[in-house]
Structure 1
Amino acid sequence: MVKKKTILYLSLLFPLLKINYFSHFSVTNLIYQLALLLVFCYCIVLYVKGRKMPSFFVFLFMLLEGWLYIQTYLNHGDIPEVTRISRSVICMAFVIDLYSDDMKYLLKVLYQYFAFFATINLLLMLVFPNGIYSVYSAAYGTSTVEWLFGVGNSSIAWHYPAVVIAWCYSTIMNNNKYGWYMSIIALASHLIDGSATTIVGILIILLFQNISLIKKIITPKIGCIIVFIAFIIVVIQQKFDFLEPFIVGFLGKDMTFTGRLLIWSNAFEAFLDNPIRGHGVMYTKDITRILGVMPNVDYLWEGATHCHDNYLQILFTGGIVAAAIYFLLYSVAIKKISHYWKHPVAKVISGCLLSFMVIQISEAFDNVIIIYLILMLAVNTEKLIVAYEQQRLEEG
Structure 2
Amino acid sequence: MRINSIKIKINNNAIILFVLLLPLFRPSCVTLYKNILQFYNIITFLAFCYLIIEYIIKKDYDFFSWIIISLESWVFLVTFFNKGARGEALYHLETIVILALIIKKYSNNIVMMTNVMMVHFECCIYINFITMLVCPSGFFDFSSKIYMSVGLETEYWFLGVANYFPRWFIPGLTIAWLYRYFNKKNVRCYLLTVIMLLSLLIKSSATCLVGFGVFLLFLLFPLIKKILRPKLIMLIAVVGVIYIVFMQKFDFLSPIIEGVLGKDMTFSNRLIIWKNAISAIANNPIQGYGIMNENEISRILGKFPSFVWEGATHCHDEILQIMFCGGIIGLFLYVMIFWKSLNSISKSWSMKEIQIVFCGCLAIFIMGITEITEYALLYIPLILGYWISYKKEIYNT
**Fold conserved between structures, TM > 0.5:** yes
- Of 21, 26, 39 in structure 1, the residue corresponding to residue 34 of structure 2 is 26
Match status 1:57 vs 2:64: yes
Spell out, residue by residue over 1:33-59, the C-alpha distance to the aligned partner (whole angstroms, 9 max, x if none).
11112212222343355x232332211
Alignment correspondent of 1:204: 214
What secondary structure does 2:142 align onto? strand
When the two chains are superposed, the root-mean-square deviation of aligned CA atoms in Å is 2.1
Structure 2 unaligned segments of length 5 or more: list them: 1-6
Match status 1:272 vs 2:295: no
Task: Output the TM-score relative to the length of structure 2.
Answer: 0.91
Match status 1:134 vs 2:144: no
- What's the offset of the Cα at 1:123? 2.1
Q: How does 1:188-203 map to 2 (within 5 A)?
A: 188-203=198-213
Q: Which range moves more in the overlay, 316-325 or 88-97?
A: 88-97
Alignment correspondent of 1:381: 388
8 Å contact kept, 2:170–2:360: no
Distance 1:384 1:197, change over 3 A: farther
Alignment correspondent of 1:394: none
- What's the offset of the Cα at 1:382? 2.1
1:201, 1:352 → 2: CA distance?
8
8 Å contact kept, 2:358–2:381: no
8 Å contact kept, 1:54–1:97: no
Task: Output the TM-score relative to the length of structure 1.
Answer: 0.91
Q: How does 1:266-345 map to 2 (within 5 A)?
A: 266-295=276-305, 297=306, 299-345=307-353
What secondary structure does 1:165 align onto? helix
Q: How does 1:109-188 map to 2 (within 5 A)?
A: 109-141=116-148, 144-188=154-198
2:242, 2:148 → 1: CA distance?
30
Alignment correspondent of 2:233: 223
Spell out, residue by residue over 1:312-367, the C-alpha distance to the aligned partner (whole angstroms, 9 max, x if none).
1001111111011101011111111111112222222222211111111011134x
Spell out, residue by residue over 1:183-211, the C-alpha distance to the aligned partner (whole angstroms, 9 max, x if none).
22212112211311111111111112211
- Of 101, 109, 130 in structure 2, the residue corresponding to residue 102 of structure 1 is 109
2:360, 2:155 → 1: CA distance?
30
- Of 30, 43, 47 in structure 2, the residue corresponding to residue 39 of structure 1 is 47
- Of 87, 90, 109 in structure 2, the residue corresponding to residue 83 of structure 1 is 90
Distance 1:236 1:161, change over 3 A: same
Alignment correspondent of 2:4: none
The residue type equivalent to 1:136 in the other structure is S
Structure 1 unaligned segments of length 5 or more: list them: 390-396
What secondary structure does 1:107 align onto? helix
- Of 255, 269, 278 in structure 2, the residue corresponding to residue 245 of structure 1 is 255
8 Å contact kept, 1:54–1:94: no
Distance 1:385 1:177, change over 3 A: farther
Alignment correspondent of 1:5: 13
- What's the offset of the Cα at 1:374? 2.2
Q: How many residues align?
A: 384
8 Å contact kept, 1:62–1:90: yes
The residue type equivalent to 1:64 in the other structure is L
Match status 1:16 vs 2:24: yes
The residue type equivalent to 1:311 in the other structure is I
Q: Which range moves more in the overlay, 136-145 or 147-156?
A: 136-145
What secondary structure does 2:155 align onto? strand
Query: Identity percentage over the alignment?
Result: 35
- What's the offset of the Cα at 1:232? 1.5
